[in-house]
Structure 1
Amino acid sequence: MIYTVEAFDNGTGFLVFEETLPEGYDETLKKVMGWTADQQGWEGYDLTRSQLEALENILGKSIYDPAYIFQISCSEQN
């Protein structure tokens, strides 16, 4: 799976930016997100601040901004 963190503007709801997580973190993501089953490739989830912090650790950078709503989505690899 390809996992992407997406930032949407609080006011407009438009996508502002996205960050693709590196491969190899499927099990870590399951724990962070509380998933009990493998993802199918079409899901999207709102992120809590603590979930976003864990994903920032994986990304190696801070992306939080209170002006944005953060979500994680997944898609199948091509």
Structure 2
Amino acid sequence: MDTIKAALTSFIVSQCLPGEAEENLPGDLDLNENGILDSMALLALVRFVEKEFHIEVDEHDIDGNFGTVNALAAYVAKKSQ
């Protein structure tokens, strides 16, 4: 799961926090409440997850699983099984 977290963190930092160090994005930080993910960034993240991990993200899965890097990594790991 560390590989999944690293890929997700790298993508989020490069797309939403350019110039920030990946270490500055804790896995339990709420991405929505802290203004990191807006609707366009969320859409890009969903597309990245689908392409990078070869899974299909169901629309109803977004709310509960795309809030933090840790939650998203667990979701991806579960869907990838």
TM-score interval, normalised by the smaller of the two chains: 0.3 to 0.5
More strand by share: 1
More helix by share: 2
Q: TM-score, normalised by structure 2?
A: 0.43
Q: TM-score, normalised by structure 1?
A: 0.44
